[in-house]
Amino acid sequence: MPESSTQPPAGGDWPAQAGVILICVAPFALLPGMFDRWVFPKLLLVVVGAGFALFARPAGKLPRWVSWWLLAVGAVLAAGAMLGAAPLPQLFGRWPRYEGAVALPVYVLAAWSGARLLGGDAPPRRVRTMWMTTSLAALVAAVIAVTETFGVHLLATTQARPGSVFGNASDQGVVGAVVVAMLLPMCQHRLASVQTPGVGRSREAGIGWAGLCSGIVLVATSASRAAMLALLVVLATHLVLLWRRRRSEGRRRAWLLPVGLAAIGAILVGVLPMARSRLTGASALSQETVTNRWTMWRATAELLRGHLGAGVGPSGFSDAVNAVLPENWFATVGEGAVLESPHNIVAQVASAGGVAGLVAVLVFAAWLVRETWVRRHSGEPAGSLARADLREGAVLAVLGWAVALLTHFTSPGNIILPAVLMGALLAGPTAVPSAGEASARGVRERGVTWWVAAVVVCAWAVGLAGGVAGDFALNSGTDAVQAGRADAADSAFSSAQRLRPWDADVPLIAAESFAGALDGSRQANPEMVAAAQRWSELAMVRLPGSTRALKAGAVADQYAGDVAGAIGLLDRAASLSPTDPQVFQRLGALQAVTGDVPAGLKSLERAAHLDPGDEGIQQTLTYVRGLPR
């Protein structure tokens, strides 16, 4: 198929090229030196890329029904947040993924950018830019993943499965499967010796092949079974599509690529010890992970029984689920572990939006399948071979991503690329002048809506830049706490709060940092105690249902000499999280200190029952048993 004759000249399409590059790099972006370097840089790049997309000649737009659907879902989630335990924090989103008003609109913006930049009228050079950019970014991520596999950590981490530039091994694997899916049709044409118009035979094709192989490496080194399953589904679906299409060109060799990639992936998984042991279930950790998934899903089902209507609101899961966790949960996963998601996209949607949110998402999924099917069989022209490959790659990528998220959670790392591809897949035609007319008219064609959008995007980018700066301040604060510099830490946390006044987790992180330092010190620092009390009080006000805030407040009160206040906070924490052994251990010790030894024994016996293998609990229990009653 020839390239569209209406495409703008190369020099005039630079805003679109810049937008495509930024949005495709966004899932791989990070900034060292931040408290959580994996989230805000990715979100910021999407918004900046969307800003460039505003200046580009639109190649498509999201259908009107998608806009109405997004408004309906936004209303459902906002209502759920307002009915949650912490309305405003849940509305904005909670640490670490901030999947409320901070992150969710960015995902929508990624889909909008995909439609505008890569819709049906997109010049093939934009599609090739997406392929090349993603391939190069995946290659860098794969190199980092390989070095981590062999114990060389280019990025400082304490995780056994580090996750390259994503901070999470499963995220790494999911993105790898998505990269393979989006590049697979284009590389299939190369293997079949079909010339994609305008794609160089050497450099660009070589980069595409490197990206495809990098995706396989990302999946294998992640040792993620969800990603392996997603990759298998992608390759099998592609093979079925090839068989049904029965192309005459290269027909005998068509099966070589998906089968060859599956073989390469199988060899890598067999060679890498961690991937092999997790896939076969030979390691205790892999078996434990499966068991934990079932535990999470049962706890989520129990939680939803009481919140069927609106769920617990966006970002409300981490606090609400503590009330229904089984007694062996903390003994299995480790004390202090925070469960932030049910690790299943269906359960995650249901917990955030209840039945209404779940129905809305299922309707969207059904409509997406229908639109894809109708467009595939309607004879609608693809515009170019590159566009046809983009469409097929988008279908495969979204399918693989959805399969992987049946046992994983959403995050900026794994959702941005599928959102962009989904936007490109759903994009409808846009009534725009030809390239020459658009160039002649210039900015006079930009109406009020465009200028409002430009102002919003600029303000949005500034706000997310403040989020990035706030994360640097948070990291400085935690470092200062560890160094014992209470004043410097307090100042850094205050700066973070000024930069992110909407973020209720800033005081929570500050409170937990000071509380941890107090518990680890031999002698309480009065400045540290005062700071711990101040930040924990703010955290408890803003997050009244947070067990973590109450535990930090109890530590602060304990070291301030207010034992009765600490016991009161721990009593509240025990009602919110009745299976947390840390709560009952501290509660029992403080009750014994005040002379109520029977109550202390009861609390400590409860802690020992919840985590019988904890030596600290056993030692405290033995000591209290020796006290006079």
Q: Give the tens place of pLDDT for each residue, 476-504.
A: 999 999 999 999 999 999 999 999 999 99
The pLDDT value recorded for residue 251 is: 54
Kindly calculate the radius of gyration of the chain based on its CA atoms and give it in whole angstroms.
26
399 and 515 part of one domain:
no
424 and 456 part of one domain:
no
Task: Tell me, yes or no, whether 28 lies in a domain.
Answer: yes
CA–CA dist 227, 405 (Å, integer): 9
Task: Tell me, yes or no, whether 515 lies in a domain.
Answer: yes
Range(s) of the domain holding residue 487: 451-579
- Taking only the tens place, the pLDDT of each residue in 444-465 is 457 788 999 999 999 999 999 9
Choose the final residue of a domain: 400, 431, 462: 431
Task: Tell me, yes or no, whether 618 lies in a domain.
Answer: no
- Taking only the tens place, the pLDDT of each residue in 45-63 is 999 999 999 999 999 999 9
228 and 352 part of one domain:
yes
258 and 382 part of one domain:
yes
141 and 286 part of one domain:
yes
pLDDT band at residue 246, thresholds of 50, 70 and 90? low
Task: Tell me, yes or no, whether 589 lies in a domain.
Answer: no
Of 237, 59, 226, 20, nearest to 137 (Cα)? Answer: 20
Choose the final residue of a domain: 534, 559, 579: 579
Residue that wins the pLDDT comparison between 153 and 561: 561
pLDDT at 521 over 50: yes
294 and 156 part of one domain:
yes
Task: Tell me, yes or no, whether 219 lies in a domain.
Answer: yes
325 and 458 part of one domain:
no
201 and 233 part of one domain:
yes
The CATH number of residue 575's host domain is: 1.25.40.10
Residue that wins the pLDDT comparison between 435 and 571: 571
pLDDT band at residue 201, thresholds of 50, 70 and 90? low
Choose the final residue of a domain: 579, 599, 622: 579
CA–CA dist 402, 397 (Å, integer): 9
Give phi and psi for 248, each to the nearest 5. Answer: -75, -35
Task: Tell me, yes or no, whether 438 lies in a domain.
Answer: no
CA–CA dist 101, 88 (Å, integer): 10
| Exposed / middle / buried, residue 15 (Cβ in 10 Å: 0-12, 13-18, 19+) | middle
Q: Are 58 and 64 in contact (CB under 8 A)?
A: no
pLDDT at 403 over 80: yes
455 and 426 part of one domain:
no
Give phi and psi for 61, each to the nearest 5. Answer: -150, 155
Q: Using the 8-state DSSP alphabet, how is residue 277 labeled?
A: H
Task: Tell me, yes or no, whether 352 lies in a domain.
Answer: yes
151 and 229 part of one domain:
yes
Question: Count of domains in the chain?
Answer: 2
List of residues 6+ apart from 50 with CB closer than 8 A: 19, 23, 109, 110, 112, 113, 457
Of 360, 365, 380, nearest to 428 (Cα)? Answer: 380
Task: Tell me, yes or no, whether 216 lies in a domain.
Answer: yes
DSSP character string of 359-422: HHHHHHHHHHHHHHHHHHHTT---SSHHHHHHHHHHHHHHHHHHHHTTSS---HHHHHHHHHHH
338 and 458 part of one domain:
no
125 and 160 part of one domain:
yes
- Tokens representing residue 144 in the block: 């980092």
CA–CA dist 429, 249 (Å, integer): 31
The pLDDT value recorded for residue 493 is: 98
Q: Are 180 and 234 in contact (CB under 8 A)?
A: yes
Least confident segment among 161-170, 206-215, 367-376, 588-597: 367-376
CA–CA dist 27, 43 (Å, integer): 8
